[in-house]
Structure 1
């Protein structure tokens, strides 16, 4: 086969070389590289081989071809967009460092000759071989350390890439920043809680704190809308620098308190179990912003003629109803259990000469279950006002569940002591398995609490 034959494309616009790259056939790629034009030959989509490899997530092939492809192709000054496409694909696949692979260290005969003729290159080769040996040894002995190392290395390299990109931002004009998609990138970083991204861009481009997106919202405003505590706290620590950002309004005439009144994204609410606790979290955000912002913000109207308080009630109407149902169902269920415990503790062994442990455990269980019944009865008879979800309901739920759990524990102690008293005279050994079995419900509850 002649060299030119390797450049022939099939019906879908791919050469034999690009197909070998997609399938990561290193042997075929090495054989075909005798035609240097293949490294820069584009397919029908305008992608050169190394970009094709990156688009198909062929990581090792990317590392192999990156060193062989002419550097001029990747330079920003070139009309070719291969460099930008490759960078984008590498970031998506998490390839933040192009390292020397073992096959490249072994190299061909020509490259080995060059290394032997150069003392510095020889030392570099030895050093790389040593690094690979240590890396493989660590990977074989302690895989977890290797995973941690790779994750940390990938994170550090990603941050370094971010710094390089952000250094170019001050040189770009408004139109270029829009083409660059800066606002979308910042929004996505806030949405996913990428605090490192925000910290780096604020260091290299401090004016970003006052920049508004298409909705007229600043970085601080989006942190409030998306309920990102870490980014919110970081911007808040800037002190006087963030005061101007606090006074901004978006294109809908919403101030920051209006934005705090909006319902959280589902991705943030899903992290909190129970509609009542979700409502509590929403109220905490709103009250925290109310303390920080000027009092006049509470009376301002947005384009829908709503104050922040009225907007909060409107946005959280369904969540309040769900919270009310959740509290009632939870309280009713716990009341049934607590009432049963109180009834059992009051009737069992009423005519027996109980042991001191049984009497104490029985009395405590009766007191705790009765307290739980009264607490949940108070929840069921509440008015379910908006502010009740902030402190009242969570506090009552915690107290009711604690006393219910405590009554279950003391009930088990009472049960175990009663079994022991009843059987110790005739079958003392039988009481031990029963006592052990009585602890299983508590252990199961503890395991479920740890997993949730």
Structure 2
């Protein structure tokens, strides 16, 4: 690695100005201009072209022109270094993998397969960069998976230990769930370890990387039908048939929703596989791998993660975080409705978790009295509707709370009701103002409509007959339709006026937000 050691210290920026024409020629894949430069300065092929120490091979690997790269590699002698390192110790193969240039990568690998086993400053091999390639292409990773061996004599194993876990984590983070499942099945130990630098497990990454797990109960009829079709297609082992079914569904209902369903099923398979591997570990190992994932899943309301972890390790439902909060505490505090329903569906578990308090002496009902996180409040618009939602949540938690805990005080000597009142003071005031302003505006509009409709009712079109006093057009169908429509308008507008006036009259206690505005 003599060539690499000669690049240890970067040159000053002025030293690289002479290489600017070469840099541009490589990016433009202009071999004629590049060859002229190499003929004048043969050392330029391995010299750093910028202050990050990237060479012509690095720039060519990024540009991705296979024909140009073939000619560039051919200029090197057999004993010359094909793996120059930049300032971060990236080889050209790292760069080709990152940018998804498979043809360029193949040229480099055919010339020197040892490049597959050289890592950068962070211990990442080219296959790691293939997992997070800029093109989001599975084919790039599959190529590197096919050429990177785990038993190459005298070479490190990219699939072993924390390095392999980092590879699995990258696949999950980039939503290549099917490839991650293949990797876990091939190397089961990867699901039982954590990365070395970030100290994160595959389960934790599934939770925090914008996962695609779907709640089946929230799907409408057509979505449920698509879900069923995709689930059946996922069970088919024949890849062409699976692609045929998904392509047909994409044509029928749109690509976005079908892709989301497919990702969901792939992720569920991966989740179950990772959780099944927990059964072979001891308590300390399971806690290390699942504890943070469990708490994060509870906060984000991903109940499937909770269920799978609990099935593999039932004691996980009693884990407590640094605030001495169990999953029911966390679910209530973060308004995680699905996790809350999951816990409450098991009477024994619900009763055990309910009677626990956190480090500040807060019961589950105290945490229900706290203001919801902003992302949960913003699910509905308007302070009044947000206050109504908060009251509904508090009432639901209150229903399952034992009566002797309703007046239970925390370490600040406050009951749950006192916490709710204090936490929601500003929201209540904003809700009152919102309701009054909205009701006032609507009352004016309703009053105008009532006035116009009433005037239309007493002003008969065409006038009355001088003989009998009846409307002249009373025998016409159009007049009957007019009379009915006018009466309906008068009734509905008057009702609206009374409703809006009733909104203006309450004293706006907390309970009024439950009944003074619609619940749907």
Quick check: 1:261–1:309 contact (8 Å CA) kept in 2?
yes
One of 421, 433, 436 as aligned partner of 1:328: 436
Give the root-mean-square deviation of aligned CA atoms.
Answer: 2.7
Aligned 8 A contact 2:503 2:517 in 1:
no
Deviations 1:178-225 (A, max 9, x none): 754x34322332233222212211211111111111111111211111
Please report how far the alpha carbon of residue 264 of structure 1 lies from its aligned counterpart in structure 2 after TM superposition.
1.0
Aligned to 1:53: 130
- The counterpart of 1:284, out of the listed 392, 399, 415, is 392
Equivalent position SS for 2:491: helix
Task: Confirm or deny: 8 A CA contact 1:74 1:84 kept in the other structure.
Answer: no
Contact 2:443 2:497 in 1 (8 A): yes
291 and 148 in structure 1: CA distance in 2 versus 1, 3 angstrom threshold: closer
The residue aligned with 1:444 is none
Q: Is the 8 A contact 1:253 1:303 kept in 2?
A: yes
Structure 2: gaps spanning 5 or more residues: 1-75, 152-156, 181-237, 464-470, 472-478
8 Å Cα contact 2:297-2:305 kept in structure 1: yes
SS in structure 2 at match of 1:98: helix
Q: Indicate the residue corresponding to 2:260 in structure 1.
A: 151
Q: Distance in 2 between matches of 1:166 and 1:264?
A: 31
Q: In structure 2, the residue corresponding to 1:67 is in which secondary structure?
A: helix
Q: Who is 1:94 aligned against?
A: 175
- Range with bigger deviation, 285-294 or 6-15: 6-15
Query: Are the structure 2 counterparts of residues 243 and 350 from structure 1 closer, same or farther at C-alpha, using a change threshold of 3 Å?
Result: same
Provide the residue aligned with 1:360 in structure 2: 484
Q: 1:133 to 1:338 in 2, by over 3 A?
A: closer
Give secondary structure in 2 for the equivalent of 1:386: coil
* CA deviation profile, 1:399-452 (whole Å, cap 9, x unmatched): xxxxxxxxxxxxxxxxxxxxxxxxxxxxxxxxxxxxxxxxxxxxxxxxxxxxxx
**Which range is displaced more, 352-361 or 367-376?**
352-361
What is the match of residue 414 of structure 1?
none
> Could you tell me whether the CA contact under 8 Å between 1:209 and 1:220 is conserved in 2?
no
Count of aligned pairs: 362
1:74-113 alignment to 2 at 5 Å? 74-75=158-159, 78=160, 80-98=161-179
Name structure 1 gaps, 5 residues minimum: 100-129, 399-452
* TM-score, normalised via structure 2 length: 0.64
Whether the 8 Å CA contact 1:138–1:145 is kept in 2: the answer is no
Match in the other structure for 1:447: none
Counterpart of 1:81 in 2: which secondary structure?
helix
Query: Conserved in 2, the CA contact under 8 Å of 1:379 and 1:393?
Result: yes
- Of 113, 122, 140, the match for 1:36: 113
The 2-side partners of 1:20 and 1:3 are apart by: 22
Q: Which residue of 49, 65, 71 maps to 2:144?
A: 65
- Tell me how far 1:146 sits from its aligned partner: 5.9
* Alignment check: 8 A CA contact 2:246 2:258 kept: no
Of residues 229, 250, 261, the one that matches 2:337 is: 229
CA distance in 1, matches of 2:89, 2:491: 80
Choose from 321, 326, 329 the match for 1:213: 321
* Alignment partner of 1:7 is 2:7: no
> Would you say 1:27 and 2:106 are equivalent positions?
no
Q: Offset at 1:156?
A: 2.1
Correspondence for 2:517: 394
Rounded to whole Å, the distance in 1 between the matches of 2:95 and 2:272 is 35
Structure 2 partner of 1:122: none
In 2, Cα distance between equivalents of 1:149 and 1:3: 52
Between the aligned partners of 1:198 and 1:133, the Cα distance in structure 2 is: 33
Matched residue, 1:160: 269
- Distance in 1, matches of 2:421 and 2:487, equals 45
- Please identify which structure carries the higher helix content: 1
